[in-house]
Copies of this chain bind each other. A is one copy, B any other.
């Protein structure tokens, strides 16, 4: 259907067309679209200065009609042979480009919307209480993270230092984290902002959210467990959050929409989503040094991103272009569906055996974590999300 020579089974077909920011040696970062093994230089191909700014924010702010119009145009360009002569000169091999953080992140909110993850953590952190706190099934719990440390995939992960205290110790000690972990998550990027003082209804989700990426919310569990009562995670999370460079448009995920799990009890009216289900059948994969360890299923998430958006603004908080909100760790019911090492190794008590004969509870220096994902696309194709990766460097 396309004059492009698309690799068989590519996750970057015409049903995907994710946006990112790239550069080549000696050129300025600009917007690109991934297609097959190529990247289309959108700044050059369109001549539109909004794609030459070095971030997607300007385009994201234009709203759903502009997003749909460009998507239609791209699909026409790649389908109709008549455009080949003008488009092809602006295609670059993917392997020749450097990818940058695709957006200027405004606020970063991290949710906690996998019931399996929350129950696993609850059992470990609060063994004497029910695994879910009483509020968990009434609202999507979330908190603000540090947007200044959201970085693009590939950014080195310097092992953080900080305070931790073992249960038997009298006082905390200081040093490099001994329980460095990942959180495999899916992130949603806000394109169109909203007005301070007004809630955004759940049904308006596709009017505000531009696209979807992968997030690794690196976590130092020892720092986190000592600091997090009563005001929540802070330094245990704020040293780095990695983002995949390709932003999959919401429009690419129509075939991936599924009904979310049944909710019991029924949530309050502003969170009811019977008419606007935004479960998404995204399958994640977590690899350690190349070895696949886990396949977290996003379709199992108890709260959807549309519910998260409605909740986040129900108090009148406004949205801004570039706001990022992430799902929270994606974990399914199975042992090989967990999105963090603290769950996979059950708090460090059950080491994970690896193919090379070693084992892990948490991450070692030199370890490389790569998270990928795919989802159903149109006509039986698959949508790929690219990857978010990072290598652990020793503490400084």
Contacts of A270 in B (CB 8 A): 174
Closest to A110 in B: B231
Contacts of A199 in B (CB 8 A): 161, 396
Contacts of A106 in B (CB 8 A): 147-148
Structural contact, A149 and B196, CB atoms closer than 8 A: yes
- The count of residues in chain A whose C-beta lies closer than 8 Å to any C-beta of chain B is 69
Closest to A199 in B: B161
Asked if A114 is an interface residue, CB under 8 A from chain B, the answer is no
A324 to B208, CA, bound (A): 27
A122 to B231, CA, bound (A): 12
Q: Which of A138-158 contact B (CB under 8 A)?
A: 138-139, 141-149, 151, 155-156, 158
Structural contact, B143 and A174, CB atoms closer than 8 A: no
Structural contact, B231 and A141, CB atoms closer than 8 A: yes
Structural contact, A149 and B318, CB atoms closer than 8 A: yes
**Known A199-B161, A323-B148; contact A315-B223, beta-carbon cutoff 8 A:** yes
Structural contact, B315 and A220, CB atoms closer than 8 A: yes
A389 to B133, CA, bound (A): 36
Asked if A160 is an interface residue, CB under 8 A from chain B, the answer is yes
Copies of this chain, tallied across the complex: 2
Contacts of A156 in B (CB 8 A): 197
Which of B155, B165, B223, B230 makes the CB contact (< 8 A) with A228?
A: B230
Asked if A233 is an interface residue, CB under 8 A from chain B, the answer is yes
Structural contact, A239 and B315, CB atoms closer than 8 A: yes
Structural contact, B162 and A107, CB atoms closer than 8 A: no
Asked if A125 is an interface residue, CB under 8 A from chain B, the answer is yes
Structural contact, B143 and A316, CB atoms closer than 8 A: no
Shortest distance in angstroms between A313's beta carbon and chain B's nearest beta carbon? 9
Structural contact, B147 and A316, CB atoms closer than 8 A: no
Closest to A270 in B: B174
Contacts of A135 in B (CB 8 A): 163, 165, 172, 226-227, 229
Contacts of A396 in B (CB 8 A): 197-199, 316
Structural contact, A314 and B235, CB atoms closer than 8 A: yes
